[in-house]
Chains A and B, each alone.
Chain A
Amino acid sequence: MTTMTFGKAITAGLRRAMENDPKVLIMGEDVGKLGGVFRITDGLQKDFGADRVVDTPLAESGIMGTAVGLAFRGYRPVVEIQFDGFIYPAFDQIVSQVAKMHYRTRGAVKLPLTIRVPFGGGIGSPEHHSESPEAYFTHTSGLRVISVSNPQDAYTMIQQAIASDDPVLYFEPKRRYHVKGEVEEAAEAQLPMGAARVVTPGSDVTLVAYGPLVPTARDAAVAASDEGVSVEVIDLRSLAPVDFATVEASVRKTGRLVITHEAAQFGGLGAEIAASITERCFDYLEHAPVRVTGFDIPYPPARLESHHLPDLDRILDGVDCVLRRPSSLAPAPGRTVSAVG
């Protein structure tokens, strides 16, 4: 067992994957000598060479499209997108090429591509540096999408992603890069990549989170327990596919569901989870599922981001709502529902 930061755990996982398979190579902007803007690939080019840790021109579609070609040739590219907001130039290659090549060729061509995306806010960055674009990709069949929340998962799941014969988007919560945790490097993965994890068991409310908000959700569960409310926190880990079985089992027990994410609400993952869980356990629900999310706005300037990002208090407000306690999320007294909007 070693104590390491979240970021170093990813580096260690990448290193192990490269040692285990000579076909694994890393591509991206500044990933070589610099070690990436977040230093996640630090030291890898020195040890594995410039042909396996490839500094690329500044062209996201170019990086993604050449990675597709390398996968055709039998390589397993690990692509780094420098920041969440820079992934859009590569969107066409990801959704039209990466996601569909296996289906299109009836399984003949595998696209074992891993796309690492530092994502989310909370670090006071300028625009295009704090986005949560995961729903664009969970909506696209052929892609797997995961998000890690702690150093151990970061270490094991990057290796699972690279080993997968499917393309995987690996969303790294950049504001947690410096969080330390215990990592068992020798251990095989505790859970398969698609499985969710119960972080904190509880009996009154199921609280689903992933990536950067898992620690916040855990803190909210601790705060709620001070008020005598038992919150079960689930770290989704896999966003596509979602491990609905684990969420469903929890909701059948608690009867109440709160979902939280930094991404905007409309058409987000929370909507999908709310709908799917309602379909699966309608008769067990004591209250409609509630979402505590970022607002439906472009990511705001740094001095406003604390209002946009769900925090402990907003999550507790959501918990109050499903418990039918006074809450900002409950309908305002006397308000009628408008027919439009």
Chain B
Amino acid sequence: MHTPVRHPENSGSSPTDPYVQLITPEGVRVPDPLYDRWVKDVDGARLRELFLDMAVIRRIDTEATALQRQGELGLWPPLLGQEAAQIGSGRSLRSSDFAFTSYRENGVAYCRGVGMEDLMRVWRGNAAAGWDPYSVNMAPTQVIIGAQALHAAGYAMGISYDGSDDAAISYFGDGATSQGDVNEAMVFAASYQAPVVFFCTNNQWAISEPVTLQAQVPIANRAPGFGIPSIRVDGNDVLAVMAATREALDRARTGNGPTFVEAVTYRMGPHTTADDPTRYRDAAELEQWRGKDPLARVQALLETMGLFDAAFAADVDARTDAAAAELRAACLGMPDPQPADVFAHVYAEPHSWLDRQQEQYSRYLSGFAGEATRS
């Protein structure tokens, strides 16, 4: 009988396993006979836009982290290092596609058109969700690990029943691939050939648990076992992520079912602002990944192309600063919710117990009329 043996040095989580890469960490565009065709429209101007997008969400991330440190946000899950994975995939979607994400996909939310105030709402503690999902076709961010993979599979089943060529996409991390829901989602998606893309952001860490604890083979290798084709892609390469996501979306739109994309990247910061990665992570590992930075390589490529001049650099600075200022203003200017909001929208239809509780609490509060505001 075969006894599984863990080999951390060459386990499935290793970034050295083969993956699709179109831009090297040094900024060299490498041809790929299979994936070039998915990004042949991405010219220098488009590449600049992708760089700008990544720079903006990095700046948003920095500003939000600062706001948390200043006590203005309860918590923030940084995305530093994952800009290419979020922008490359997020910019591949159509507005009519529907995204189901975890809590870290603030860059995807940015791509969907979520405004700064809406982006801040959850983390400031003003609401359980930031936006009207139908206004941007993106579900509320999900905290329960992997639950959203099933929602995406079900939504995609609905797309099939509607005869539409839209697609659903679900984002989750490497840790979530251990969850039953993600595995069940793959069973359902394969069974019904649902037009869904499973986008696994393998950032190597589930809080303090390394991906080696989640997977003994490359995570992308699991999907074929469900009957789902998969692509392992350099998650720090915006062009490669875009190529892989576009291929997956095309497969969904043309009735060929689900695809699993594993974007191999690294969470450069803590899991959230409440986490201390120095307790569990080797500083050398961090340094190694710093050399694979998603923005630096696009900048190097643009420089080679003669497209990263002082004017563009100044434009990027101005626009990222403006985004940060807008974020801060939106956060600080957000009105506090009203007491009655506590009861709002629990049910779609009237509910006798809740109506009674609301009425009692309202009567209780009215006893404080004229006094200083309760905080």
Contacts and interface: CB of A to CB of B under 8 A. Distances in A.
Interface of A: 25, 51, 56-57, 59, 61-62, 64-75, 89, 92-93, 96-97, 100-110, 112, 141-142, 144, 164-166, 194, 240-245
Nearest to A165: B348
27 contacts: A25-B161, A56-B191, A59-B180, A61-B181, A62-B187, A62-B188, A64-B150, A65-B147, A66-B157, A69-B100, A69-B154, A69-B168, A70-B155, A92-B181, A93-B181, A97-B151, A103-B128, A103-B344, A103-B345, A104-B129, A105-B129, A106-B132, A107-B344, A108-B133, A166-B347, A166-B348, A241-B352
Contacts of A69: 100, 150-158, 168
Contact of B139 (A72, A92, A141, A245): A72
Contacts of B157: 66, 69-70
Interface string B135-148: 00001100010010
Given A69-B150, A72-B133, A96-B147, 8 more contacts: A66-B150, A69-B151, A73-B158, A92-B144, A97-B144, A105-B133, A112-B348, A244-B352
A244 B155 CA distance: 38
B185 interface: yes
Contacts, number: 148
A144 B352 CA distance: 11
Interface string B89-102: 00000000010100
Contacts of A96: 144, 147
Given A75-B161, A106-B127, A65 B154 contact: yes
Interface centre among B156, B168, B180 (most CB of A within 10 A): B180
Contacts of A142: 346-347
Contacts of B147: 65, 92-93, 96-97
B156 to A, nearest CB: 7
Interface of B: 98, 100, 127-129, 132-134, 139-140, 144, 147, 149-159, 161-162, 168, 180-181, 184-185, 187-188, 191, 344-349, 351-354
B184 A106 contact: no
Given A66-B153, A70-B155, A241-B353, A109 B133 contact: yes
A70 B352 contact: no
A240 B127 CA distance: 25
Contacts of A105: 129, 132-133, 140, 345
A64 B181 CA distance: 10
Contact of A103 (B98, B168, B184, B346): B346
Nearest to A64: B150
A59 B184 contact: yes
Contact of A73 (B159, B191, B344): B159
A110 B345 contact: no
A261 to B, nearest CB: 18
Contacts of A106: 127, 129, 132, 344-345
A287 to B, nearest CB: 25
A101 B181 CA distance: 17
Contacts of A144: 347, 351
A71 B161 CA distance: 13
A65 B132 contact: no
Contacts of A64: 150
A65 B98 contact: no
Contacts of A68: 150-151, 154
A92 B147 CA distance: 9
Contacts of B185: 62, 65-66
A102 B345 contact: yes
Nearest to B158: A73
